[in-house]
């Protein structure tokens, strides 16, 4: 956990050191609709995510946005996992307030709804996110994202399970 906190603080510090007038901090929250792909046969789970981010303008049209999110994920049949997810999204503004997002994420499992399921899942996950966001002039924004798990999270030999899901959220830039 100390390493994770160090990485988050270092990332924020690195991004912030570039140019103070081009950095915005913010908060965001929303709904997750997640499931497993691969060998799992389960129904989707609707849950939530909440966290913060730093939006660093590299240029007028291109931004980097590292985030730190608490995300409740999994499947509906009591196969829930809670993650501390760290996506680093590249944002490209295709219009003044509309951006497309893409980037990698790393997630650290912090809890599971079932102890047995906890024992059979890995403590880390890697994935890619793709989405879009729309910014309002008052600092509010709306975003939608698809998260594709790249790593098998099963700790059982021969069983392939990956996270996948959609997010829809609302946020505020300070």
> Could you report the per-residue pLDDT of 90-106, keeping only the tens digit for each?
999 999 999 999 999 99
All domains of the chain in start order, with CATH:
2-173 (2.40.160.20)
Q: How far is CA 173 from CA 38, 41, 118, 119, in A?
A: 37, 39, 35, 38
Q: Full-prediction pTM beyond 0.75? A: yes
DSSP H helices in the chain: 2-18, 115-119
The phi and psi torsions of 171 (rounded to 5 degrees) equal -145, 175
Give the integer Cα–Cα distance in Å for 133 and 103: 14
What pLDDT is recorded for position 11? 54
Residues 6+ apart with CB under 8 A from 65: 53, 54, 55, 56, 88, 89, 90, 91, 101, 103
Distance CA 123, CA 36 (A): 16
The pLDDT tens digits of the residues spanning 106-152 come to 999 999 998 988 999 999 999 999 999 999 999 999 999 999 999 99
Q: Is the pLDDT reported for residue 17 higher than 90?
A: no
Distance CA 45, CA 34 (A): 5
Integer CA distances (angstroms), 115 to 41, 46, 136, 147, in order? 19, 21, 43, 25
């Amino acid at each position: 956990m100390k390493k994770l906190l160090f990485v988050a603080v270092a990332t924020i510090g690195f991004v912030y050191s570039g140019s103070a007038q081009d950095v915005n901090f913010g908060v965001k929250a929303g709904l997750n609709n997640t499931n497993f792909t691969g060998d799992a046969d389960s129904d989707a789970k609707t849950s939530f995510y909440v966290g913060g981010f730093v939006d660093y303008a590299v240029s007028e049209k291109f931004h980097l946005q590292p985030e730190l999110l608490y995300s409740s994920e999994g499947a509906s049949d009591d196969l829930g996992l809670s993650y501390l997810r760290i996506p680093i999204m590249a944002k490209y503004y295709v219009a003044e307030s509309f951006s497309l997002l893409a980037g990698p994420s790393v997630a650290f499992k912090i809890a599971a709804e079932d102890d047995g399921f906890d024992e059979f899942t890995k403590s880390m996950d890697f994935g890619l996110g793709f989405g879009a966001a729309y910014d309002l002039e008052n600092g509010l924004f709306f975003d939608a994202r698809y998260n594709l798990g790249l790593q098998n999270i099963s700790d059982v030999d021969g069983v392939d399970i990956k996270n996948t899901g959609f997010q829809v959220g609302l946020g505020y830039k300070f």
